């Protein structure tokens, strides 16, 4: 599995536009939003979290577009599909590396902007865990959508994935609401973490099965 990790990390790092471009898109959205809307500072702080969630969602959607397409076209997926474990490991590592190079940086940037916007370090306790968990969930779900539409275009994959994302967005909204009113948020974060653990266990298996059906 470590060899697969090194291989996938090397491949993604070579494609600078594939991971740096989405991060720049995230920066553009988060920086331009406060400059293009007239709101009182308190209202802006409340709305800014929603902007972070949407910006991270769009960034992930752009970044994982065609996540498996190149490997499908050059025969890499077919080589890995010879053994069940190898294909599963490749999918698992590819998703993790996308989170490592895209999910973590935008989570750190989003946390920095949320602290800057609110002027309070307490924003760190809301933004950082929520974004780290949610970006990993988003990458898994969009990867699932892309595997379903592997040779049919990324738009179809995004449309398939969207209904699965709504519960996560609702949960993120509840986290912000509880934080604004001073209520406990850790139970909601633990719920999101539980959802993520289930996704990490099952989504790569499902994606591996879907890829095999494309290769048959």
Higher pLDDT, 85 or 117: 117
CA 212 to CA 216: how far, in whole Å? 6
Identify the pLDDT of residue 121: 78
Question: Using one digit for the tens of pLDDT, what is the confidence trace for 91-134?
Answer: 999 999 999 999 999 999 999 988 887 777 777 888 899 999 99
Chain center to CA of 125:
19
Identify the pLDDT of residue 38: 66
User: Could you identify the residue written with the tokens 């969630």?
Assistant: 53
CA 117 to CA 128: how far, in whole Å? 14
Which of 11-15, 67-71, 171-175 comes out lowest in average pLDDT? 11-15
Give yes or no for residue 182 having a pLDDT over 80: no
Identify the pLDDT of residue 83: 67
pLDDT > 70 fraction of the chain, expressed in percent and rounded: 88
CA 27 to CA 109: how far, in whole Å? 8
Which of 36-40, 76-80, 187-191 comes out lowest in average pLDDT? 36-40
Chain center to CA of 130:
11
Identify the pLDDT of residue 43: 62
Identify the pLDDT of residue 70: 81
Give yes or no for residue 88 having a pLDDT over 60: yes
The DSSP letter of residue 100 is I
Question: Do the beta carbons of residue 99 and residue 135 sit within 8 Å?
Answer: yes
Q: Using 50, 70 and 90 to split pLDDT, how confident is the model at 85? A: low
């Amino acid at each position: 599995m470590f060899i697969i990790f090194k291989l996938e990390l090397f491949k993604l790092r070579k494609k600078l536009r594939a991971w740096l471009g989405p991060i720049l898109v995230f920066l553009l959205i988060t920086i331009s939003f406060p400059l293009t809307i007239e709101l009182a500072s308190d209202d802006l702080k409340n709305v800014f979290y929603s902007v972070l969630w949407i910006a991270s969602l769009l960034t992930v959607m752009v970044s994982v577009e065609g996540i498996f397409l190149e490997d499908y076209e050059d025969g890499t997926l077919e080589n890995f599909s010879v053994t069940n474990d190898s294909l599963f490991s490749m999918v698992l590592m590819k998703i993790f590396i996308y989170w490592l190079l895209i999910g973590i940086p935008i989570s750190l940037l989003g946390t920095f902007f949320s602290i800057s916007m609110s002027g309070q370090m307490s924003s760190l306790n809301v933004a950082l865990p929520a974004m780290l968990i949610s970006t990993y969930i988003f990458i898994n779900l969009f990867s699932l959508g892309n595997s379903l539409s592997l040779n049919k275009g990324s738009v179809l994959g995004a449309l398939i994935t969207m209904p699965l994302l709504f519960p996560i967005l609702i949960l993120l909204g509840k986290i912000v609401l509880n934080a604004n009113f001073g209520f406990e948020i850790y139970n909601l974060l633990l719920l999101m973490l539980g959802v993520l653990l289930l996704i990490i266990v099952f989504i790569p298996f499902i994606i591996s099965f879907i890829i095999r059906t494309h290769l048959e």
